Structure 1
Amino acid sequence: MVRRQRVWWVAAAAAAVVAVSTALLAGPGNDRASAGAAPTMLVIGDSISASYVDEPGSPKQAWWSFVARELGYETTVLAEAGSGYQRPGSQCRGTTFPQRPGVFEQPPPSLILVEGGRNDWARCDGTDLVPVPSEEVLAAADAFLERLTTTYPDARVVVLAPPWGPLQQQYVDDVTAAIETAADRNGCEFLPMDGVLPEDRTPDGVHPDLDGSRAIAEVVLTALNREPDAV
C-alpha cells in the first residue's frame, strides 16, 4: 500500500509543491519491502520533481516515483517549482535548496538525490530574473552540497545534471559544469543527463512528459545499480 502526505505552498497566485512525504513500497515481485524496513531516499529538486506525482499509470508520474518503486525506497520529496541552488522558487518568493524547510532535519537517509540547477542560470532581482555568471552557481552548489554531505555523512549522495530541455540552451554548459565541479569537490556522484529531454519528451521545452520522466529515472536507476565507485 502506498501512503502519501503532500504539503502545498502557494505564493504569488501560483501553487508550487514544496514538500511531499511519501512512503513508497516495492511493487509486486520485489521482496525488499517485506524483508524489513525499506531504505530511505530524500529527493531535493525543482519543478521537474515537484510538479509530478507518485501514481503509476498517470501521465504525470514522477521520475523519482519510478526510481523508488523499482528499488523499494521510502521517499521524502522536498521540491519547489522555479527553485535552484541559489534561486528561490515560486516566482522568486519561495525557497532555494538550502532554505528549503526540512532539508537538513531528516532522519538520516540511505540515499539523497539532488535534481536541479535548471533555474540557476538567473538570480532574482525582485521578481525579475538576471543572468548570473557560472561562478555564482558553483559557489551556491558547493556550499549546499558541503552542508548536505556534512549533515548526512553516511548517505549516498547523487547529483543529477540539470535535465535540460530545448529552451535556454545557451546556459546549459556553464551551469552543468559548475554543478559537476561542486559535486566532485564534495565527493558526490554526478550523473550526466545529456540528451535525456529532447523536444519530443518535453511539451513546453522545459518539463518532461511521461517518457521524459521515465528517461530520467532510467539514468538514475542505471547509476544506482552500479557500485558507487564505478559511477
Structure 2
Amino acid sequence: MSFDIASMAADLSSPVAKRRMDGAIDFLRFEGKCDGFLFAYKDEIAGRFVTVGQRGYGDAVADFLTDSIDTRPEFEKQFSNHEFIFDWTEVPGFATSYSGSQVLRPQGFNNGVLMLLHDSVGEIIGMCHGNVEKKDFPGTGKELLERMRPAFTGYALDRRSAARFRLTHRELQILDCVRRGMSNSEIGEQLFLSPRTVTTHIEKILRKLGVPNRVLAAVYATELGLGSDDRSVDSQRAALR
C-alpha cells in the first residue's frame, strides 16, 4: 500500500464530512495497518447497510460484507456483543466459515475485525470492517478503531437522518446554510447558485421535511443533526489527538 500523506492530512482537516471520512479510512489503513477497510451505515427505512466508503476490497467482497451478514452464524458473536471489537481468533470457527474461507481468504485476508456502531439506546446504526493480510490483527488497529468509533458513529447518524428524508447532498449543503441563518442570496454566493435555484431547493427541502417554513426547517435540522458536521468534526479531532 502507498499513501499520499499530504492528501490524507488535507482530507482529515476538510470542512466536508465525506472527505474527512475518506481521510479517516486512509488514516486507519496507514496508521492502523489495515489492508482493507469498509465503513457503512444502516438505512433505517430499507433495513440494510449502505457503504459510505471502502478501500482494499473488490466490489463483490464489499457487497458481501454489507449484505445481511447479521444473519450469518459466523457473525453472531459480534452482533450479540456489539460493544466489543473481536478479531477472527476471538470468534470460534470464523477462519473456516464461509465468510472467512470462501470470501475473505481468497482475497488475501487472514484476519480481521468488525466494529459495530450503535446509538444511545443500543440500536445498530452502522459498522466498520477492517481486514489484514497478516495472521495477527494489529493492536494499534483495534485501538485506533475504538478511538475513532465516536466519529464514525456521528457520521452514520447523520447519514441515516439524511437517508430518512431522502435529502440530496446539495440539499444538505443548503439546509446547513439555512440552519446557520444565511439568506438565499448568501447561500447562492457561497454555493455558486442562482437565487432561483436556491429557492427551488429550499422548497423541495421544506416538502421533504414536512415543515411550512425555513425557520422550522432550521430547528428541525438542529435537533436531528441534519446538515451539520459539528458532531463528526469534534469527535474526529478528539480521536486523532
Greater share of strand: 1
What band does the TM-score fall into relative to the shorter chain? under 0.3
TM-score by length of 2: 0.26
Greater share of helix: 2
Q: Which one has a bigger Cα radius of gyration? A: 2
